Chains A and B, each alone.
Chain A
């Protein structure tokens, strides 16, 4: 597989949100605004790339029966690292995303890519796979956050262009499901 394909696959063919439907919990909960969606996507991208690299390196020497605990320890380490960094340098974003940062540990995208790809491929390919899937997740979350922010608050990336409140339902949980559903339809229609 070419390098380009690995990244493009993650963005379109294997898009974690719109095609694989993985990681729905952070997707629905954190995309109240475009900035929140983007930050959550980037946080997951960071963990995904590092954990893919580390796991592709240690997979050949990991006994089969303990591979899941080993992977989880590795992923949890990177997530905690990310938590320290965000708390220190971007406290506002860390607060907005709240519990969903530590929950990246159990995000099925991260463990899924470790199992399905990184444990069977080399370091370079695993890193690219992490970048591709991570970018796909980031793009999906940003678009979803943007749609919800425009409809719900009348602003985009914090820049307000419609005065007043907008359709508040889109900032709340029901709007998350509605917006995700319609975006999924649109994405799969365009992909064909």
Chain B
């Protein structure tokens, strides 16, 4: 079809109008299923890293300049633990974990939410049973949260020291987040970003 200003403007505007109409409709229809799918995924992760709980509430916490999103899980007997979403840079890109920490500061369990580590090497942080099992019940007040090569107590994945180091850092940051949360509560301080890193964990 021959082009002139009128038909070009008309056809292009009409196309855009119809397309945006379709997309607006699709957005409204899929909005709820999308947020339900995202929520299901994060709930599954929380259930995996914390002991049994009856309800969760979510909030953000600041650690230094970085914002962490965390979920507080409560059972009949009070707070059963915190699930902290912790992101660090791994070997191939961001490594995001969900770390479950009980109120006494002990790591209950952890799981990988997303990673872009090398298949067969760093990607084992998601599948290697020995590596994953060592986080269960890891007590940061007794053991040090860094790989053995750096003088800590974390067994690294063979040939993936950088990924293991990143993993340990992510867990350690999550522990610090919970420490700062507890610290605030014990002191009754209202400052939102008060960090008491060295605060002992006794009640």
Known: A84-B26, A84-B30, A171-B120. A60 touches B19 (CB 8 A): no
B121 CB to closest chain A CB (Å) equals 8
Contact yes or no, A165 B34, CB < 8 A:
no
A30 CB to closest chain B CB (Å) equals 14
Contact yes or no, B23 A81, CB < 8 A:
yes
Tell whether B11 is near chain A: CB-to-CB under 8 Å: yes
User: A88 to chain B: which residues have CB within 8 Å?
Assistant: 30, 33-34, 37
A23 CB to closest chain B CB (Å) equals 22
B8 CB to closest chain A CB (Å) equals 5
Contact yes or no, A87 B30, CB < 8 A:
yes
Known: A32-B119, A84-B27. A73 touches B15 (CB 8 A): yes
User: Complex: how many Å from CA A74 to CA B14?
Assistant: 11
Tell whether A89 is near chain B: CB-to-CB under 8 Å: yes
Known: A88-B30, A171-B119. A63 touches B15 (CB 8 A): no
Contact yes or no, A73 B119, CB < 8 A:
no
Contact yes or no, A63 B2, CB < 8 A:
yes
User: B15 to chain A: which residues have CB within 8 Å?
Assistant: 58, 70, 73-74
Known: A64-B1, A66-B8. A84 touches B34 (CB 8 A): yes
Chain A interface helix/strand/loop/mixed: helix
Known: A84-B27, A88-B33, A168-B120. A95 touches B1 (CB 8 A): no
Tell whether B142 is near chain A: CB-to-CB under 8 Å: no
Q: What per-residue 1/0 map shows which CB atoms of B106-143 lie under 8 Å from chain A? A: 00000000100011110000000000000000000000
Report, as a range, how many residues of chain B touch the other chain: 20 to 34
User: Complex: how many Å from CA A105 to CA B114?
Assistant: 25
Interface residue ranges of A60-108 to B (CB < 8 Å): 60-66, 69-70, 73-74, 76-77, 80-81, 84-85, 87-89, 91, 95
Interface residue ranges of B1-32 to A (CB < 8 Å): 1-4, 7-8, 11-12, 15-16, 19, 22-23, 26-27, 29-30
Tell whether B41 is near chain A: CB-to-CB under 8 Å: yes
Closest to B20 in A: A77
B142 CB to closest chain A CB (Å) equals 34
Q: Which of B1, B16, B41 contacts A73 (CB 8 A)?
A: B16
User: B114 to chain A: which residues have CB within 8 Å?
Assistant: 95
Tell whether B77 is near chain A: CB-to-CB under 8 Å: no
Contact yes or no, B26 A64, CB < 8 A:
no
Tell whether B66 is near chain A: CB-to-CB under 8 Å: no
Closest to B18 in A: A77
User: Complex: how many Å from CA A117 to CA B58?
Assistant: 52
Known: A61-B11, A66-B8, A73-B15. A81 touches B120 (CB 8 A): no
User: Complex: how many Å from CA A126 to CA B7?
Assistant: 25
Contact yes or no, B3 A63, CB < 8 A:
yes
A→B interface (CB under 8 Å): 32, 58, 60-66, 69-70, 73-74, 76-77, 80-81, 84-85, 87-89, 91, 95, 152-153, 165-166, 168, 171-172
10 additional A-B pairs beyond A66-B12, A70-B11, A84-B34, beta carbons within 8 Å, are A32-B119, A61-B11, A70-B12, A73-B15, A77-B19, A77-B23, A80-B23, A85-B30, A91-B41, A95-B114
Can you offer 20 A-B residue contacts whose CB atoms are under 8 A? A58-B15, A61-B11, A62-B11, A63-B4, A63-B11, A64-B1, A69-B12, A70-B12, A77-B19, A80-B23, A81-B22, A81-B26, A84-B26, A88-B30, A88-B34, A89-B33, A91-B37, A152-B120, A153-B119, A166-B120
B→A interface (CB under 8 Å): 1-4, 7-8, 11-12, 15-16, 19, 22-23, 26-27, 29-30, 33-34, 37-38, 41, 114, 118-121
